[in-house]
């Protein structure tokens, strides 16, 4: 039986007083001293957290709940979601096919920027959240809902990614985040309680007490965290734990024979694999299979979350890892040195913006404009060899290549480069070093 909550005029449903800042004020003003009938659109994956949340919201609030799932390449994880959502309390469910939009408008722009967070993380979960939140807002407008909800925890990065997107695109919508509500956390202090809740209400979930870890999958990657992975010394690659991985074989179990693959780029975007023209999503699907077959793209790292803590994540990004290396190689042939160095100096900032959730922020848009301008001549073909977790570059070519074999040759080939010019070039660059030594004694050695 639902427990109706009377909501005072200064507090939005489910929000602690500390949450009631200017961000929520537009909706808070509409509250009355009577019970408010809410219509909530919940970002719903069917995983452990959102499976619990849809039921909990229905039991806790006098609200109509509409669930929304974004198809961004989860594949089998989407099966049965409408039935499961309705069974646990939703009045309606939407599943939107966003796979091509995800690849074309989110993954590819990020690849053009070579964005990698803290040198290791390919941002697979990070880049998906702004798209999911954007589509969720569109559903909320269609359904005339006044509230959006998500299942991100109050400790992670996803809460920032979802809510910053809501703020950027639909600031009048009210936000409900159960993990930031005291009563929710009291009822579910850990994953064991959530699993027990699902068992009690016969809600099927893949997580179990035996292997309680969280998994998030999309076209670009799968991430694993929490539970048994919270110990940074725990080895998920050990023989007994290998069934956790879904996109790739262990490098030890990969084929003993290397496989070559050719990727064709146009203006920084991969458009063909082994001579076959493909859409952005098609490219990633093919590369995921190839990379997974050869044990490519596994990453295990302790990263710095936006909210301040460190966390351990394990990732599989087979196709994205191949794509990133190939993109780097075609850039090495076609990008001007100073343009490349300028763009590379901005990679940490760009990656940070994606990781933190500022995809729809003006500074990310400004950086994207610079990145895209740099890609005008990043076209050509790269040949790679895949072997037991390794990606080996074996060739690259482009009609826009800045590499001149006549200039670079050490074999006495004539060109318009005059080696004698190097004497003055080095002398001028060394002028300040000589002056320092004469006046100040030079560096300590």
Q: Can you say whether the dihedral through the CA atoms of 361, 362, 366, 368 is positive or negative? A: positive
- Partners of 148 in beta bridges: 41, 175
CA dihedral for 112, 117, 122, 127, sign (positive or negative): negative
Examine residue 260 and state whether it is found in any structural domain, yes or no: yes
At residue 114, does pLDDT exceed 70? yes
Among residues 214, 223, 248, 398, which one is catalytic? 214
How far does Cα 209 stand from its chain's mean position? Answer: 27
pLDDT band at 347 (very low <50, low <70, confident <90, very high): very high
Q: Check residue 211 and give its pLDDT.
A: 64
Confidence (pTM): 0.88
- pLDDT above 80 (res 51): yes
Q: Say which residue, 26 or 109, is predicted with more confidence.
A: 109
Q: What is the pLDDT of residue 207?
A: 64
Residue from 27, 112, 129, 191 carrying the catalytic annotation: 129
Of 22-36, 148-162, 237-251, 259-273, the least confident: 22-36
Q: 269 and 205 in one domain?
A: no
Lowest-pLDDT choice from 269-273, 326-330, 437-441: 437-441
Phi, psi of 204 (to 5 degrees): -75, 130
What is the rounded end-to-end Cα distance, in angstroms, of the chain?
Answer: 78
Sorted by sequence, the CB contacts under 8 Å of residue 117 that are 6+ apart come out as 123, 126, 303, 351, 352, 354, 355
Give me the chain's average pLDDT, please: 89
311 is catalytic: no
Q: What is the pLDDT of residues 206-265, one digit of tens each?
A: 766 666 688 889 999 999 998 889 999 999 999 888 889 999 999 999 999 999 999 999
Q: What is the pLDDT of residues 391-429, one digit of tens each?
A: 999 999 999 999 988 877 777 778 788 888 999 999 999
User: Residue 281: which domain range?
Assistant: 222-335+377-397
Catalytic annotation on 231? no
**pLDDT of res. 284:** 98
What residues form DSSP beta bridges with 40? 65, 147
Residue percentage of the chain with pLDDT more than 70: 90
Q: Which of 45, 71, 146, 158 is catalytic?
A: 158
443 — phi, psi (to 5°)? Answer: -70, 155
Catalytic pick from 27, 45, 49, 311? 49
Q: Is 62 a catalytic residue?
A: no
CB hemisphere CA count around 38 (13 angstroms): 30
Q: Are both 62 and 178 inside the same structural domain?
A: yes
**Is 434 annotated in the active site?**
no
Q: Do 160 and 249 fall into the same domain? A: no
Compute the distance between CA of residue 426 and CA of residue 416 in angstroms, rounded to an integer.
19
How many helices (DSSP H) and strands (DSSP E) are in the chain?
16, 14
134 with 183, same domain: the answer is yes
Is 9 a member of any domain? Answer: no
pLDDT at 310 over 80: yes
At 167-214, the pLDDT tens digits run 999 999 999 999 999 999 999 998 789 989 998 888 877 766 666 688
Asked whether residue 341 is assigned to any structural domain, the reply reads: no
In the chain, how many domains are there?
A: 3
Residue-level pLDDT at 14: 43
Q: Report whether pLDDT(30) > 70.
A: no
- Whether 385 and 413 map to the same domain: the answer is no
């Amino acid at each position: 039986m639902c427990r109706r909550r009377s909501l005072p005029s200064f507090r939005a449903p489910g929000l602690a007083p500390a949450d009631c800042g200017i961000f929520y004020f537009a909706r808070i003003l509409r509250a009355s001293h009577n019970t408010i009938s809410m219509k909530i659109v919940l970002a719903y994956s069917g995983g452990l957290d959102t499976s619990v949340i849809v039921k909990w919201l229905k039991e806790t609030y006098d609200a109509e709940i509409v669930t929304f799932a974004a198809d961004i390449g989860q594949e089998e994880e989407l099966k049965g979601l409408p039935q499961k959502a309705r069974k646990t309390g939703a009045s309606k469910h939407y599943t939107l096919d966003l796979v091509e939009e995800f690849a074309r408008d989110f993954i590819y722009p990020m690849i053009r920027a070579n964005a990698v967070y803290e040198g290791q993380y390919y941002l697979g979960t990070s880049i998906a959240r702004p798209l999911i939140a954007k589509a969720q807002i569109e559903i909320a407008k269609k359904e005339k809902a006044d509230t959006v909800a998500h299942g991100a925890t109050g400790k992670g990065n996803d809460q920032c990614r979802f809510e910053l997107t809501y703020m950027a695109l639909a600031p009048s919508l009210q936000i409900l985040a159960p993990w930031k509500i005291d009563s929710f956390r009291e009822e579910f202090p850990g994953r064991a309680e959530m699993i027990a809740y699902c068992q009690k209400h016969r809600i099927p979930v893949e997580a179990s007490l035996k292997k309680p870890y969280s998994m998030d999958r999309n076209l670009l990657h799968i991430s694993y965290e929490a539970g048994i992975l919270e110990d940074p010394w725990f080895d998920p690659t050990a023989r007994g734990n290998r069934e956790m991985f879904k996109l790739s074989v262990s490098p030890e179990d990969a084929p003993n024979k290397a496989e070559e693959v050719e990727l064709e780029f146009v203006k920084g975007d991969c458009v063909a694999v082994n001579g076959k023209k493909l859409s952005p999503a098609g490219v990633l699907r093919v590369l995921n299979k190839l990379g997974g077959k050869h044990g490519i793209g596994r990453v295990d790292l302790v990263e710095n979350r936006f909210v301040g803590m460190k966390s351990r994540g394990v990732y599989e990004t087979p196709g994205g890892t191949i794509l990133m290396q190939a993109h780097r190689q075609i850039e090495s042939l076609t990008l001007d040195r100073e343009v490349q160095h300028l763009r590379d100096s901005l990679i940490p900032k760009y990656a940070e913006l994606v990781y933190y959730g500022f995809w729809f922020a003006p500074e990310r848009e400004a950086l994207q404009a610079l990145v895209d301008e740099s890609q005008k001549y990043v076209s050509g073909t790269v040949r790679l060899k895949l072997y037991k977790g390794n990606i080996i570059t074996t060739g690259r070519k482009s009609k826009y290549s800045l590499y001149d074999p006549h200039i670079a040759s050490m074999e006495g080939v004539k060109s318009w480069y005059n080696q004698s010019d190097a004497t003055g070039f080095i002398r001028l660059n060394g002028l300040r070093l000589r002056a320092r030594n004469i006046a100040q004694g030079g560096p300590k050695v």
